Structure 1
Amino acid sequence: MRKWLPLTAVSLSTFMLLVDLTIVSVAAPDLAEELHSSFAALQWTVDLYVLVLAALMMAAGSLADRWGSRRVFLAGLVVFALASLACGLAPNTGLLITARGVQGLGAAAMYGTNAAILGLTYSGRDRSLAFGVWGAANGAAAAAGPILGGVLTEHVGWRSIFLVNLPVAVAAVVLARRTVPSEPRADATRPDAAGVLTFTAAAALLVYGLIRAGDRGWTDRGTLVVLAAAAAVGVAFVLLERTRTDPMLDLALFRRPAFAAAVLGAAALTASAFANLIFVSLWAQSVLGLTAMGAGLVLAPMAVVALVVAGAGGRLLHGVPARYPIGCGLLLVAAGDALCLLISPDSGWGAVIPGLAVTGVGVGLSTAALASAALAAVPPRRAGMANGASNTARQIGFAVALPIFATLVAGAAEDVLGDRAAAERLTGGGYADLVGRVPATVLKTAYADGLDRVFLTSALLAALGGLAVLALLRTPAEEPQPALTRE
């Protein structure tokens, strides 16, 4: 059983860092009340974590290729644990948001090396099983976050959702130090600082621009300036990476259809399956009046189904071309999102259960296959880079989708209520504050219309991603890959 201890360390870290993507959603009302936070601030407690995680994962993967995955992984665990402690002790929103950013730094170092560690530690059927278990941790964690968040928030307090990371991180450090093999790298070179800075700036400007658009409108001059700056810095990043001999991201990898399709599928998965859960949680607590734990349990079917399907899929789908579990998984996510369009103003929590369960099947099928597909599409020397790019796409998909969905919900509410301030208050969980001024039926209609827009958009994203993967993703045996232009 000792051979599975590296998998245990990696899976623990993955579960912990992905739970922290969605665990805040259930604690949001309590957190906002104690720290007097606005809805925009609440978005940043989620988005800054995701943003830093996404922006630095490729850098983490590149560093792992140079300095060794084990070293980068352990450093990430330590940083994540210390930042979690700071989050749990934060006296105000500003410090909480800052600590969440540091937490994202540690998460990037962990997540950017996880698949590379598994790929280097296991081979053959063991590798398929390892990626299946790791995929189960991926699929279950993001959906289980609200469940754990609900239990902890209701019975212990919102600060416990961060402090619970400490014992998990300690266990993962002990296991990793004892069992994960080291990889000495004699060819270590300086990291691509310019690439890291430009990619981080482009991602930050994009997410900030989308949040600003939801707050001040798409025609606001400041919004347009920020989005234009994001595009300009993004172009600068591409130009920089094309000229470097040792880039953070070798853009020649995207000439490989299998790699490009895997990255696209990763972004589509998190955008369509997870970014909408925050609004379901707010709806369940604010509009339906459920407790934090009750709202978490509403999302339980997705977590349980994803865990079971991913665990079984890694073992049963060994040897099946990756495009089938990924593509079909995304199409099932689209079907699950479409089922959630049945929500009406009179709906109870049971209306989302069938859709979330179907989405869980899609998540479980696609998650493990996505990681192995990205690694299989590139040479072993690019394993860290490929893993970082695939996982970056997942988090960028989530980070970009979240403010877009917030804009859709607020826009639908404003169309019904005719009052922007009331719409923003409703979107941020202020249903109870508005009941005395606006009829409950009208408020429920406004939020239901917003959820319809979110789930329709999610379904379209998942369907397009699934079709693209089925069309483009081919294994090396099925489609010869062009040679890379850089070493």
Structure 2
Amino acid sequence: MVRKWGPLAAICLGSFMLILDTTVVTVALPEMARGLGASLASLQWVVNSYTLVLAVLALSAGAIGDLAGQRRVFVGSVTVFAVASLGCALAPNAGVLIGARAVQGVGGAAMMVAAMSLLGAHYEGKDRGSALGIWTAVLGGAGATGPFLGGVLTQWAGWQAIFFLNLPLSAATLLLTSKYLVEAPKRPSGTRIDLGGMVAFGASSGALVYGLIEADDRLPMFILATAALVVFVMVERRVRHPMLDLALFRRASFVTVLIVVVASSSVFACLIYASIWLQSVQRLSPAAAGLALIPLAATSFVTSLVIGKRLPAVSPGIILGLGALLAAAGCALEWAMLDSTWLSLLPGLIVTGAGMGIAGPAGSTAILSAVPRDRAGMASGAMATFRQLGQTLGVAVLGLVYASTADLGDVFLVTAGLSLVAAVLSVLTRNSAGARSRTRGSSAAAGR
């Protein structure tokens, strides 16, 4: 039994650590500002430098892992992450902290993509559904408990403790990896890394996010982002071994997963502004603010475990649409019930957590099932990229909403709209795929 689930333990521990660091800094930002003399813009980049690098490099990491071996990449990424975490904890100023956070993103991107591919390599059938359910629950729990854990550590041990924590977690991950993980299938040895695609995609994503955050440079950055995206598409269509095979976007299930992932990631972006509201308006301590967000984490964790065990019997498309719909309903409920007390968040957090817990395992299963096995790293990278881009862009876009209205309800309302669009598109995409399948079946029958 230990041998069977040992790989899952190693993957989940590493994944917990990297997702935790996307939200753990949320409630620590005020203490960081005081300790480092940082401005508001610097604080935004403490959050976004990590998630942006995660998004930009996830596709590249997937391609590298397919070529070099996912286990090897996983080990290297955990090591890089640990060293960068130490740099964050010892940072003497905001600039060093932002730089170390970016290096964390390098390790985190490779770790995330390798984790999904290694899960696919170690588990099949019902076991894969269970493993993905547990893994997704861990991811959801890590992201949602990050504010609470960050608040507790910041309040009692200082903000540096949130980064020192990664050192023992990294050591334990490497120990489990050495005992239980085996190498995943590699792509043909003659393939090459798509450097042109990496540069073009990084330029497009970076310019887009920078343009959303820095108001003075929006138009030039948006033009640069568009131009770089066009170059990326041209490169991917011409190179022999692209980092992202554009033909994957012809697969309905692949596109559906990415749409829902972006929408669900914007929900995590809401937690940043909910935490700010809890501390600045409700005057809660960092630990109390984090505790107020726990219902989302608990509901997401439990729901992921339940759904993961039942995935083989239900279409992932149905579950994805249901998850997005519940997330939309939860955010709408938070908008409608928000008042002068933090308890008004509770019902919406529970419903939203259920939606995220439902969509997560289905998305992981669908993305691995939608592509050939030797493209698992590429598909995993695409999913990780869209997840982090969704969160990074969500922070930027929702930040514009919050800054202009100073109303947390408006943040929830915008997020509800995004989730509802994802739910509708999920259903439409599934129906379109079903219609094509029936047409092919009818044509085949007529041919006979």
TM bucket, shorter chain: over 0.9
Partner of 2:327: 333
The one-letter code of the counterpart of 2:201 is F
C-alpha contact 2:300 2:356 (8 A) present in aligned 1: yes
For each residue in 1:66-108, what CA deviation from the matched residue of structure 2 results, as whole angstroms up to 9, or x when unmatched? 1111011111100001001100110100000000000000000
The one-letter code of the counterpart of 1:366 is A
Partner of 2:398: 405
Identity of aligned residues (%): 44
C-alpha contact 1:26 1:292 (8 A) present in aligned 2: yes
Q: Greater share of helix residues, 1 or 2?
A: 2
* Residues 346-357 of structure 1: pairs in structure 2 closer than 5 A: 347-357=340-350
3-state SS, counterpart of residue 313 of structure 2: coil
Partner of 1:74: 75
**TM-score using structure 2 length:** 0.94
Closer/same/farther in 2, CA of residues 184 and 453 from structure 1, 3 Å limit: closer
* Residues 224-303 of structure 1: pairs in structure 2 closer than 5 A: 224-271=219-266, 273-303=267-297
The one-letter code of the counterpart of 1:240 is V
* Residues 61-460 of structure 1: pairs in structure 2 closer than 5 A: 61-183=62-184, 185=186, 187=189, 189-213=191-215, 216=216, 222-271=217-266, 273-342=267-336, 347-412=340-405, 447=406, 450-460=407-417
Higher alpha-carbon deviation: 182-191 or 386-395: 182-191
Q: Distance in 2 between matches of 1:79 and 1:474?
A: 44
3-state SS, counterpart of residue 34 of structure 2: helix
Closer/same/farther in 2, CA of residues 188 and 151 from structure 1, 3 Å limit: farther
Q: Distance in 2 between matches of 1:200 and 1:393?
A: 13
Consecutive aligned runs of 4 or more in structure 1 exceeding 3 Å deviation: 183-186, 473-481
The count of residues paired between Structure 1 and Structure 2 equals: 436
Q: Which runs of 5+ in 1 are unaligned?
A: 217-221, 413-446, 482-487
**TM-score using structure 1 length:** 0.87
Partner of 1:219: none
CA drift of 1:392 comes to 0.7
CA drift of 1:188 comes to 5.0
CA drift of 1:190 comes to 2.5
Q: Distance in 2 between matches of 1:381 and 1:184?
A: 7
CA drift of 1:228 comes to 1.0
Q: Distance in 2 between matches of 1:92 and 1:474?
A: 53
For each residue in 1:387-415, what CA deviation from the matched residue of structure 2 results, as whole angstroms up to 9, or x when unmatched? 11011111101111111111111111xxx
Q: Distance in 1 between matches of 2:340 and 2:326?
A: 23
Partner of 1:470: 427
For each residue in 1:371-396, what CA deviation from the matched residue of structure 2 results, as whole angstroms up to 9, or x when unmatched? 11111111111111011101111110
Q: Distance in 2 between matches of 1:37 and 1:356?
A: 31
Q: Distance in 2 between matches of 1:320 and 1:78?
A: 38
CA drift of 1:266 comes to 1.0
CA drift of 1:342 comes to 3.1
3-state SS, counterpart of residue 312 of structure 2: coil
Partner of 1:436: none
C-alpha contact 1:323 1:474 (8 A) present in aligned 2: no
Q: Distance in 2 between matches of 1:21 and 1:103?
A: 10
